[in-house]
Amino acid sequence: MSINAPQHPHTVADFQANVTAVRERIAAAASTAGRDPDDIRLIPVSKSFPVEVVKVAVEAGLTTLGENRPLEMAEKAQLIDGVTWCMLGPVQRNKAREVALWATELHSLDSVRLCEALQRRLEAADRTLDVFIQVNTSREDHKGGLGVDQVEEFATQLVQFPRLRPRGLMTLAAYSPEEKVVRAAFSQLYQLRERLRPLLPETVQLEELSMGMSSDFEWAIAEGATTVRVGTAIFGHRAQSVYLQ
């Protein structure tokens, strides 16, 4: 699915227009799929954009934002008020502190060792963290996440970490223009969730499906996404950033 990415927004009105356009696309995709658009949550993704740009987005009404790097998220969280921060990218154990202090959600949980590090940091901060298990449904070696056949065993171990609150599953589809290739990854996550539902402990109910980005979120909605993570269609294409140096 092609993206007609907007120019980089500079004003509150620019951001509001971009978000309105994305929400209209969400509503249309939900209608086509016979779903209620209110059941689909939008996480605007501000990764790599500087603080001054993100502040304009917040002034435009964005209150939940997604980031891919713990240190970048921590810096922004300390400079920008009124935002719920979602960590979307991979987290090394030595960055668990930043996630525990500033994130409300983590969408890339994929190891027991990371669970252990987060549990310790969350206990110290007296916080909890909503977590999504990342699943590599596209089977691409360069992507993080558990294999489909590893998720059940991993999910049952989450009961050992009371500061982590299981919320759902997350995946990244292959970056492909072919609808059947992209939708296959999303469909597999939906089917996995349905298979696991009766098998997991009551405290580990993975109800949500975090899947779909600017290039493919309509296809993700068709396959059952409850959360879509949209950056380019709201913030524009990412140029070289201080955070990428």
Instruction: List, for residues 53-99, the tens digit of each pLDDT value.
Output: 999 999 999 999 999 999 999 999 999 999 999 999 999 999 999 99
- For residues 175 and 118, what is the distance between their CA atoms, to the nearest angstrom? 30
Strands 164-170 and 129-134: parallel
The string of pLDDT tens digits covering residues 23-48 is 999 999 999 999 999 999 999 999 99
* Predicted TM-score of the model (pTM): 0.93
The string of pLDDT tens digits covering residues 164-178 is 999 999 999 988 889
Q: Is residue 233 one of the residues assigned to a domain?
A: yes
Q: Is residue 105 one of the residues assigned to a domain?
A: yes
Q: Is residue 3 one of the residues assigned to a domain?
A: no
- The whole-chain average pLDDT of the chain stands at 93
Range of the domain at 150: 12-237
Write out the DSSP string of 53-69.
HHHHHHHTT--EEEES-
> Does residue 243 register a pLDDT over 50?
no
> Does residue 4 register a pLDDT over 80?
no
Q: Is residue 213 one of the residues assigned to a domain?
A: yes
Q: Is residue 2 one of the residues assigned to a domain?
A: no
Domain count along the chain: 1
Q: Is residue 87 one of the residues assigned to a domain?
A: yes
Q: Is residue 226 one of the residues assigned to a domain?
A: yes
CATH no. for residue 20?
Answer: 3.20.20.10
Strands, sheet with 227-230, edge to edge from the N-terminal-most edge strand: 41-44, 227-230, 208-210, 164-170, 129-134, 103-109, 84-87, 64-67
